[in-house]
């Protein structure tokens, strides 16, 4: 996504061929605006700024005072939503939109959000970032009760629950529905008269409230406000339901209040570096991760080289702390966009070189510290270390600005199954040996918390963040994973065409 400092979503995507493919997991971005003449165009721009959160599909639904209008497409926001005709179809001053990253095989259009339900005398469209950990269980029950689920998305469950609620008011129906959901969610919903933003009780996924000339806005990150010149108002709080109408904004806390526990991974790699989360500049945090990492795992070296683009801020921090020069020792080729769709075998074998090349003049004969944000399966790191060695490096030291990822995510980040995670397979020496570095070091879990400003590190009684990928400490039940849930009894429809 962003230059010099992106998340590793492309890296993750590459891994997907090997995934076990629990297809209800995905990472996404959401946006909504109420009461602006250019609602659809502004939503398209907001989604463009959130493109790093999902590149496989995008959708927008508007309400024009009479009808809801929908455009949903596979591909990037810029592939479709820059066409005048598309924006013209999306009439009306209310709009919500979604960018989506999905796993192979379920990339069908039917799963592209916003999802919509016609209600008695109304209608509701919903966008979801996160993952419901009891969606399969609820879905089974809904189907037993006669519901027809057209998508295979976990997000449809909340729509079905809204449709079936016997509450009179739409906000009550919405709250009744989400009350039944477990897991992580930032939701933006659109009805005929209301724009609703909601965040799960722990505030795992981000959601902010902004304002553009009086029009309230919800967005996953502040960068989506910046692109359209909107003001940041505040974070939607954990467990909060914010309801915007032309008359004003109301706030509900249907689950009571408790301390937030946002996902630390938004800081590590997911959010855009120019976004501000909970008052922290993501870029600054990443630099601090690099600084603490340099303190914890210093090494004699000649040059600090980031793995582009995601390792850049941490590498700058590492270099500043260590006093070793920072150089762009790896050059990234940005033209690979669609290259991997049908690679020839010849191209496949060249692997990492299609995307990265060693800047030999900065590498040759030097002791190189490579800095990356995180290590997932290690297959790319392995190739990068080899490439740096081939370019003549005297030593290669690998430094990760996050702790070892030992556990899968179930809250909307598309991680491999545990067995594929390098840190779940090997100890530190095993990992070092696998990727072929001279030394390997990770930021400690307490280092993460200290970099976030918690001097005493992680509060193990009441952890300040959701950090299960490192600790295995999942804040919510993982109902669908329990042995009682048979997720496959009913034959599904595989829609290839």
Does 159 help bind a copy of itself (rule: CB under 8 A)?
Answer: yes
Q: How far is the CB of 148 from a copy of itself (least distance, A)?
A: 4
User: What string marks each residue from 232 to 271 as x (binds a copy of itself by CB under 8 A) or -?
Assistant: ----------------------------------------
Catalytic residue among 28, 127, 223, 469: 28
With beta carbons less than 8 A apart as the criterion, state whether 402 and 448 touch.
Answer: yes
Q: Is 310 annotated as a binding residue?
A: yes
- Specify whether the backbone of 232 is left (phi greater than 0), alpha (psi in -120 to 50) or beta: beta
Site for a copy of itself in 109-128 (CB under 8 A): 109-110, 116-123, 125
> In this chain, which stretch among 2-10, 367-375, 417-425, 430-438 interacts with a copy of itself, using CB under 8 A?
2-10
Comparing CB distances to a copy of itself, the nearer of 391 and 423 is 391
- For residues 448 and 458, what is the distance between their CA atoms, to the nearest angstrom? 8
- The residue from 347, 428, 453, 477 that contacts a copy of itself (CB under 8 A) is 347
Is 467 a known ligand-binding residue? no
State yes or no: residue 336 binds a copy of itself (CB under 8 A).
Answer: yes
Q: Taking CB under 8 A as the criterion, which residues in 174-213 touch a copy of itself?
A: 192
CB of 278 to a copy of itself, least distance (A): 13
Tell me the pairing of strands 439-442 and 395-400.
parallel
Kindly state whether residue 316 participates in binding a copy of itself, applying the rule CB under 8 A: yes
In the complex, the smallest distance separating the C-beta of residue 55 from a copy of itself, rounded to whole angstroms, is: 7
Q: How many CA atoms lie within 13 A of 12 on its CB side?
A: 26
Span of 11-19, 219-227, 243-251, 436-444 interacting with a copy of itself by CB under 8 A: 219-227
Nearer to a copy of itself, 137 or 476 (CB): 137
User: Six-digit token pair at 315?
Assistant: 């590498």
148 in contact with a copy of itself (CB under 8 A): yes
Query: How does 336-366 read in b/e, with b if 16+ C-beta sit within 10 Å?
Result: eeeeeeeeeeeeeeebbeebbebbeebbeeb
Cβ pair 367, 303 in contact under 8 A: yes
Residue of 105, 251, 360, 417 interacting with a copy of itself (CB under 8 A): 360
In angstroms, the Cα distances linking 496 to 99, 109, 110, 317 are: 21, 10, 11, 47
Per the CB < 8 A criterion, the answer to whether 251 and 197 are in contact is no
| Number of residues counted as binding a copy of itself (CB under 8 A) | 120
Q: Which of 24, 42, 135, 242 binds a copy of itself (CB under 8 A)?
A: 42
Among positions 104, 179, 333, 433, the unique one binding a copy of itself when judged by CB under 8 A: 333
Q: Which two tokens stand for residue 132?
A: 């419901």
Which helix (H) or strand (E) covers residue 285, if one does? helix 282-296
CB atoms within 10 A of CB 94: 28
Nearest CA to 224 out of 262, 186, 268 is that of 186
Which CB atom, from 189 or from 441, has the smaller least distance to a copy of itself?
Answer: 189
Greatest alpha-carbon pair distance for the chain in Å reads 73
Phi, psi dihedral angles at 27 (to 5 degrees): -110, 145
By the rule CB under 8 A, 326 interacts with a copy of itself? yes
> What kind and span of H or E run contains 161?
helix 156-164
Residues 45-84 that bind a copy of itself (CB under 8 A): 45, 48-49, 51-52, 55, 59, 61, 63, 66-73, 76-80, 82-84
The answer to whether the annotation marks 302 as part of a ligand binding site is: no
Give backbone dihedrals phi and psi of 135, rounded to 5 degrees, phi first: -65, -40
Query: Cβ closer to a copy of itself: 157 or 264?
Result: 157
Among 21, 105, 259, 325, which residue interacts with a copy of itself (rule: CB under 8 A)?
325
Least spacing, CB of residue 293 vs a copy of itself, in Å? 18
Binders of a copy of itself among residues 278 to 297 (CB under 8 A) are 281, 283-284
Which lies closer to a copy of itself via its Cβ, residue 138 or residue 445?
Answer: 138
Task: Indicate the residue among 86 and 379 with the shorter CB distance to a copy of itself.
Answer: 86
SS3 state of residue 431 = helix
**What pairs with residue 199 in β-bridges?**
186
Site residues for a copy of itself, 419-448, by CB under 8 A, read none
Contact between 13 and a copy of itself per CB under 8 A: no
Among 272, 397, 399, 450, binds a copy of itself (CB under 8 A): 272
Tokens of 59: 């959708």
Reported as type and span, the H/E element at residue 10 is helix 9-15
Integer CA distances (angstroms), 481 to 102, 125, 419, in order: 20, 28, 16
Number of neighbouring beta carbons within 10 Å of residue 252: 16
Return d(Cα 299, Cα 321) in angstroms, integer. 12
Query: Any catalytic annotation for residue 149?
Result: no
What is the set of active-site residues? 28
Summarize the annotated binding site for Mg(2+) as residue ranges.
Answer: 310, 372-373
């Amino acid at each position: 996504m962003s230059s010099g400092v992106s998340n590793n979503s492309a890296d993750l995507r590459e891994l997907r061929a090997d995934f076990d493919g629990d297809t209800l997991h995905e990472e996404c971005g959401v946006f909504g605006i109420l009461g602006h003449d250019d609602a659809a165009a502004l939503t398209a721009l907001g989604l463009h700024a959130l493109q790093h959160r999902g590149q496989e599909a995008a959708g927008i639904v508007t309400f024009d005072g009479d009808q809801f209008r929908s455009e949903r497409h596979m591909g990037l926001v810029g592939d479709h939503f820059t066409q005048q005709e598309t924006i013209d179809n999306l009439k009306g001053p209310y709009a919500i939109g979604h960018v989506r990253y999905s796993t192979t095989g379920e990339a069908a259009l039917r799963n592209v959000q916003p999802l919509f339900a016609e209600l008695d005398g109304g209608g509701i469209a919903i966008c979801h970032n996160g993952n419901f950990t009891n969606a399969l269980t609820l879905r089974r029950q809904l189907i037993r009760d006669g519901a027809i689920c057209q998508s295979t998305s976990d997000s449809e469950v909340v729509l079905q629950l809204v449709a079936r609620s016997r509450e009179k008011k739409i906000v009550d129906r919405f709250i009744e529905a989400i009350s039944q959901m477990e897991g992580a969610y930032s939701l933006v919903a659109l009805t005929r008269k209301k724009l609703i933003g909601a965040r799960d009780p722990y505030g795992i996924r981000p959601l902010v409230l902004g304002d553009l000339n009086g029009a309230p806005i919800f967005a996953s990150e502040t960068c989506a406000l910046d692109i359209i010149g909107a003001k940041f108002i505040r974070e939607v709080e954990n467990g909060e339901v914010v309801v915007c109408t032309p008359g004003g904004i109301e706030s509900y806390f249907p689950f009571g209040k408790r301390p937030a526990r946002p996902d630390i991974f938004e800081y590590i790699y997911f959010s855009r570096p120019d976004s501000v989360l909970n008052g922290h500049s993501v870029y600054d945090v990443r630099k601090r991760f690099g600084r603490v990492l340099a303190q914890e795992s210093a090494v004699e070296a000649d040059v600090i080289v980031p793995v582009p683009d995601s390792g850049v801020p941490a590498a700058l921090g590492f270099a500043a702390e260590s006093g070793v020069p920072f150089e762009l020792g790896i050059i990234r080729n940005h033209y690979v966009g669609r290259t991997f769709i049908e690679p020839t075998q010849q191209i496949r074998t060249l692997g990492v070189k299609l995307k990265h090349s060693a800047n030999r003049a900065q590498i040759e004969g030097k002791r190189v510290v490579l800095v990356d944000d995180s290590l997932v399966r290690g297959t790319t790191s392995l190739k990068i270390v080899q490439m740096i060695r081939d370019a003549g490096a005297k030593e290669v030291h690998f430094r990760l600005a996050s702790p070892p990822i030992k556990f899968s995510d179930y809250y909307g980040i598309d991680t491999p199954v545990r067995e594929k995670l390098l840190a779940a397979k090997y100890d530190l020496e095993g990992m070092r040996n696998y990727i072929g570095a001279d030394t390997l070091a990770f930021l400690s879990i307490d280092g993460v918390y200290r970099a976030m400003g918690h001097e005493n590190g992680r509060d193990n009684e009441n952890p300040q963040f959701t950090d299960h990928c490192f600790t295995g400490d999942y804040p919510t039940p993982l109902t669908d994973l329990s042995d009682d849930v048979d997720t496959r009894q009913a034959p599904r429809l595989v829609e290839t065409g």
